[in-house]
A and B are shown apart, each in its own frame.
Chain A
Amino acid sequence: MAERLVALEDQILGGDADEDCDCKDGMFNGLSRRHVLAAGFAVAGGAMTTGRAMAEAPPGAIEYPVQPDPTKEQGRTILDDGGYGSRSQFENEVRWRYPTASLDSSWSMTPLAAGFGIITPSGLHFERHHGGIPTIDPETHELILHGMVDQPLRFTMGDLKRLPSVSRLHFIECSGNGLTEWVQPTLKTVQGTHGLTSTSEWTGVRLSTVLDMAGIQDGAAWILAEGADAAVMTRSVPIDKAMDDAILAYAQNGEALRPEQGYPLRLLLPGYEGNTHIKWLRRLEVSDRPFMTREETSKYTDLMPDGNARQFSLEMDAKSVITFPSGAMKLPRPGFYEITGLAWSGRGAITKVEVSADGGATWQEAALEGPVLPKCHTRFRLPWTWKGEEAVLQSRAMDDTGYTQPTLAKLVEVRGLKSVYHLNAIQSWHIAPDGEVTNVHA
């Protein structure tokens, strides 16, 4: 595995890490040095490679003896799992860590190809941490709200759980999703190209509820959100967004947040780029202007060809991707396949997804599975008969603001190749006559 990534590294950087190339970017240097890559994988990949040879159950599963005929003997007894269920020992999807040089500031990606429907299992929700995953006892965790408010307030987790709550299904997408794909098709799977988006049902208190309790003062325009991790992550959020649909979330998919998703409390800013959804939330400060934190200046800004950078591109643009068939699969033979994938928009609801099997020459409307929710993954499907000929599969999404997902060429025309973030272009999967599916630019 490590060797394949080394090859990938050569492919991206031409085997020669230029001093001034993107590998210097904090988000991009993972593919820059082969020995680090190999070392990282010895640790991270160990369980998967050597572990499998020892037939250990995949993460999240327990190995039980397989019964020769389960109709002829009793199955295992109830609560054998201690009262908290595990997945089948025959299900093996796992998040994949992008090989950043730093293990503390790194990200892992959701295996979208294996997903069904629109909800991402909590254990497969993508991760992006800038200082590891803190372990926090919710009994001692507090949220402080201060700044331009009439009454600064302090909330325990108990306080927040006693306030009126909402549950909403929303995707979170890292604006770095796809950053390897600007120049040339680089990663091979949909997990690698698109796996920094996930959808959960989030439950918590509307941020407007606590802001109303504190009383926002005239002139307030931004609010700083800060996490209790080693990065003490901070982002500025427009107050209008905070008052609109922002949630102080303490639950995900019907149970408490997972630690890597911000346990015990995270900010949820529906449709906004993932980095703003501050995890392990400990502080909110209302202000008249943005704070210009490191992540909203040095990072998560889009450098344009003229040398200026777009800042605060917070709403994730409409995007879609075909998850089946997708990269590194092989269709066994010509015949019927159901093309399926996900579409989403940070600005609203998906209104239409079209699919092309000929690289964008002709398009057919896919069926959208309900419910089609705003700022949420939407599942699309289209029956397709593959005749065994070369094909290029694409999908393009439209949202209820009238936005249509652009081609990569269109994006590059305006943004050039150095903007790193916010790549939402149409994805192309090439199907070869032998059924091999590969990531291409078409």
Chain B
Amino acid sequence: MSMRNFVLPIFCVASGGMAFAQTDSAARTVADLPAEIEETGERAPSPPPLSSADDGAPVDLATNQYGIGSPASEEQIAQIDIDVMPDGRGLPEGRGTYAEGETLYADRCLACHGENLEGVAELGAPKLVGGRDSLASDQPVKTVESYWPYASTLFDYVHRAMPMDSPGSLTPDEVYALSAYILGQSGITSDDADAVLNAESFAQVTMPNADGFVEDPRGRGQTE
């Protein structure tokens, strides 16, 4: 079933066994059809999937009973380990001010989330501030300010997924600055122009709805 394997026999012919020599410029965009077996014309089956161990990567059979997979290095992990946790674990080095955040917001976020962070329904971009004390009312307004229990989620989410038209493009400094602006606008942190957020101060932020979440209390088989 592996597309890699569909391609393999063809590459073997075409490139004399250099099946896995693949450069970025020659990255494939589709799989070729399975090769035909010469004598019978049958389609060649997928060969057994190659494990990375078969590629020569080191595997310690003492700790890995199948001899499949390879150790992930700290560097490889660091490349994609971007999550930030409520206790501040995962916050990268860096800093940003409210004023820097205000400028960045105007540049990178305002078109979708509105001049006053009020959201733009036509674009599906949520309101980011306001709504405090509305959650128990008939018209609850769920925003970063009113609903989100942890500031870490703001850093984590903006860093990984925003701006929607260019996700993953913000540096840690920029995310600190944008967080300082959004939390400042929410009255959660200072809205002084030079108010700074960094890993240390960020981990100290307490959100208004920090105690607003409960575990589902229903027991097994219980309807409500």
Contacts and interface: CB of A to CB of B under 8 A. Distances in A.
Contacts of B141: 20, 24
Contact of A403 (B49, B80, B217, B221): B221
B164 A154 contact: no
Interface in B93-142: 119, 121-127, 131, 134-142
Contact of A153 (B27, B70, B134): B70
A163 B167 CA distance: 34
Interface string B63-93: 1111011111100110011110110000000
A162 B51 contact: yes
Nearest to B4: A139
Contact of B214 (A156, A234, A287, A310): A310
Contact of B161 (A32, A140, A232, A406): A232
Interface in A382-403: 399, 401-403
B215 interface: yes
A403 B52 contact: no
Interface string B142-160: 1010011110110011001
B216 A312 contact: yes
A272 B220 CA distance: 15
A33 B121 contact: yes
Contact of B220 (A17, A347, A415): A347
B117 to A, nearest CB: 12
Given A24-B121, A285-B83, A403-B223, A292 B49 contact: no
A414 interface: yes
B22 interface: yes
A307 B135 contact: yes
A25 interface: yes
A305 interface: yes
A308 B210 CA distance: 10
Contacts of B82: 232
A402 B139 contact: no
A213 B157 CA distance: 31
Contact of A21 (B73, B136, B139): B139
A367 interface: no
B122 A36 contact: yes
A59 B168 CA distance: 34
A32 B125 CA distance: 12
Nearest to A294: B157
A102 B125 CA distance: 8
Nearest to A307: B136
A143 B206 CA distance: 34
Nearest to A230: B167
B1 interface: yes
Given A232-B82, A283-B80, A297-B153, A406 B223 contact: yes
A311 B142 contact: no
A292 B149 contact: yes
Given A287-B85, A298-B142, A230 B161 contact: yes
B84 to A, nearest CB: 8
B167 A131 contact: yes
B167 A232 contact: yes
A258 interface: no
B130 to A, nearest CB: 9
A215 B65 CA distance: 12
Interface string A273-316: 00000000011010101011110011001110111111111000
B52 A156 contact: yes
Interface centre among B126, B137, B140 (most CB of A within 10 A): B140
A18 to B, nearest CB: 7
Contact of B153 (A157, A294, A310): A294
Interface in B199-224: 212-217, 220-224
A116 interface: no
B9 to A, nearest CB: 15
Contacts of B13: none
Contact of A102 (B52, B60, B123): B123
Interface of B: 1-4, 22, 27-28, 33, 48-54, 60, 63-66, 68-73, 76-77, 80-83, 85-86, 119, 121-127, 131, 134-142, 144, 147-150, 152-153, 156-157, 160-161, 164, 167-168, 212-217, 220-224
28 contacts: A24-B142, A25-B142, A26-B126, A29-B121, A30-B124, A131-B164, A138-B2, A144-B76, A146-B77, A152-B77, A154-B71, A158-B4, A159-B68, A230-B167, A231-B167, A256-B1, A289-B85, A292-B152, A293-B157, A294-B157, A294-B161, A298-B142, A305-B136, A309-B147, A309-B212, A310-B215, A311-B216, A399-B221
Interface of A: 17-18, 20-21, 23-26, 29-30, 32-33, 35-36, 83, 100-102, 104-105, 130-131, 137-140, 144-146, 150-159, 161-163, 210, 213, 215, 224, 226, 230-232, 234, 250-251, 255-256, 282-283, 285, 287, 289, 291-294, 297-298, 301-303, 305-313, 347, 399, 401-404, 406, 410-411, 413-415, 418
Given A20-B141, A224-B83, 8 more contacts: A24-B121, A32-B121, A101-B122, A153-B70, A157-B49, A234-B156, A293-B153, A310-B213
